[in-house]
Structure 1
Amino acid sequence: MTVLIAGCGDLGTEVGLRFARLGHAVVGLRREASVLPAEITGQSIDLSIKKPVIPPVTEFVVVAISAGSPTIEAYRAAYLDGLRNLLDALDDARVTPRRVLLVSSTAVYDINDGSRVDEQTPANPRPGTDSIVFDAERMLHSRIPTATVLRLAGIYGPGRERLINQVRAGAKLSAKSRHTNRIHRDDAAAAIVHLLLRPEQPALLYLGVDNASVPGNEVLTFLAAELGLPELALDTSAVPASTREGQRGGDKILSNRLLRDTDFTFTYPTYREGYRALLAGAGTRHP
């Protein structure tokens, strides 16, 4: 049995390594596959312009495509053209995987009032890149109605240390702190493997987020204390930097109840455990 990972970057590689440790053959698709670890058989391909070769015994497909830049053109090429080429290649090879999972984003919820969001909340993406991600979800379900979409919150982990670097550089607290939502990369990868391998058929949609949807100021204050830095000052400018940076994430409380109801267990249930491990140097950054 083979696991095919379309978009074998940092997250996809971690997923592939976890499947490989469980004894599965893993094929990873990425533009430059020579950088992949030996446990993953690489296929160098630009999915936005070419259809991949599909192993005939493919049982699971993970679509973890990412855009090369934050432009609309790059998102269309990755999420729409890339997904279409993958699905067309599956059809051409007459391969019907047992399960398919698409990694999406909670950015498809443009919600800014601090309300609770779960899988029943209608998506309302803003025009632009967020709408393209949602279009990819709809394309997948139109072609493979039983596929699973996992909408991940902000991923942090090895090599994803933006917030830590901001605190070290003297970040300030926001006068109006929005709720923030996140998931450690290792938990995101573990959730993907868990959903694909569990005996019960996965739902069509899950939110991938940890147990702590909290105001951003709380996380910044925690990191400053862990780093041994002085208490952070309040940003009194007209438009605080933290507010400008957080606008894409909106202000919402994401629920992971449906994911937890599958008996999934987080290694890093909140930002505290995750960032402490990150500060201690735990984990590996993948190419």
Structure 2
Amino acid sequence: MTVLIAGCGDLGTQAGLGFAESGHRVVGWRRSPGKLPAQIEGVPVDLTGDLPPIPSDTDVVVIALTADGRTEAAYRATYQDGTANLLDALARDGVVPRRIIFISSTAVHGNDDGGWVSEDSPPAPSTATGAVLADTEKMLAERAPQSVLLRLSGIYGPGRTRLIDQVRSGKVSRGAPHWTNRIHRDDAAAAIVHLAGLDAPAPAYLGTDAEPALLSDVQEFLAAEMGVQLQAGAAPDPALPATGKRCSNALLGSTGFRFAYPTYREGYRAVLQGSGVRHP
């Protein structure tokens, strides 16, 4: 069985290593394939251009793209146009994979009142980039009904230290209490491999850990772990209404998936201890 990973960056590479460990042939498409580990067959590809032949025995396709910027135009060129181009190439070559896994985002759920969302919550993106992802999801459902959407929350892990660096400086700004959702890179990659092996998956899953958390709680945890004193007056104002959303991973958990890092505490401790590497 061949697994094709279109967009073999940090997350795609980690997932590819998981597939390879299970004994599958893994082909990784990216613009700079020379950076891929030996377990993944790298092919130089720009998804917006002409695409190479797709192996005839491709059973699983993982679409894990990264836009060149956070603009609507960049997202549309990468996600919607790139995915459409890939579907055209599959049709051109007569390849019908058993499963297509599209890496989307919980941003398609635009809730910002601190409430809970799940796969049953209708997409209601509040940003132009989220709307592009929702449009791409709809296209996949129409053109490739075997697709499974994995809507990931904020990915953190090796080399992703923006919040750690912010807290280490001791300077954090706060206003209203803000709910956040996270998933460790390794758990996100493991979820991709897991969903590829399910017999009858749901059309979509929220890929997020087991504990939505207030941003201030995560900041205070990191400060305590690093022995950092946060600046005075950094606490959120409880009189203000909460923002953000709380994402449920109950459906993913019901499939038997188990998180290596079920909350931000285990995950960030691993990052602070230097566990793992970020793939270039």
In the superposition, the TM-score normalised over structure 1's length comes to 0.93
Length-normalised TM-score, structure 2: 0.95
In the alignment, what sits opposite 1:224? 223
Match of 1:187 in 2: 187
**Alpha-carbon distance, 1:231 to partner:** 4.2
Residues 117 and 245, structure 2, Cα contact 8 Å, conserved in 1: yes
1:206 partner amino acid = Y
8 Å CA contact retained: 2:172, 2:230: no
Mapping of 1:86-235 within 5 angstroms? 86-172=86-172, 174-198=174-198, 200-235=199-234
> Match of 1:16, SS?
helix
Rounded Cα–Cα distance in structure 2 between residues aligned with 1:234 and 1:191? 39
Query: Counterpart of 1:262?
Result: 255
Alignment partner, residue 277 of structure 2: 284
Q: CA RMSD in A?
A: 1.8
Per the TM alignment, residue 66 of structure 1 is displaced from its structure 2 partner at its CA by 1.1
2:244 counterpart letter in structure 1: D
Per-residue deviation, residues 84-124 of structure 1 (Å, max 9, x unmatched)? 11000100110111111100000111111111100000111
CA distance in 2, matches of 1:105, 1:176: 23
CA contact (8 A) 1:181 1:212 kept: yes
CA distance in 2, matches of 1:86, 1:134: 17
- 1:251 aligned partner: 244
The answer to whether the Cα contact below 8 Å between 1:173 and 1:233 also exists between their aligned partners in 2 is: no
User: Which runs of 5 or more residues in structure 2 are unaligned?
Assistant: none
CA contact (8 A) 2:195 2:201 kept: yes
Q: What SS class does the counterpart of residue 261 from structure 2 fall into? A: coil
Aligned pair 1:76/2:76, yes or no? Answer: yes
> 2:41 & 2:12 partners in 1: Cα distance?
13
Name the % identity: 53
Provide runs of 4+ in structure 1 moved above 6 Å: none
Structure 1 residue ranges without an equivalent (≥5): none
Amino acid in structure 2 at the alignment position of 1:261: S
Tell me, yes or no, if the aligned pair for 1:45 and 1:52 is still in contact at 8 Å. yes
> 1:235, CA displacement in angstroms?
3.8
* 1:207 aligned partner, one-letter code: L
Alpha-carbon distance in 1 for matches of 2:259, 2:231: 29
Q: Distance in 1 between matches of 2:221 and 2:236?
A: 22
Contact 2:59 2:98 in 1 (8 A): yes
CA contact (8 A) 1:224 1:232 kept: no
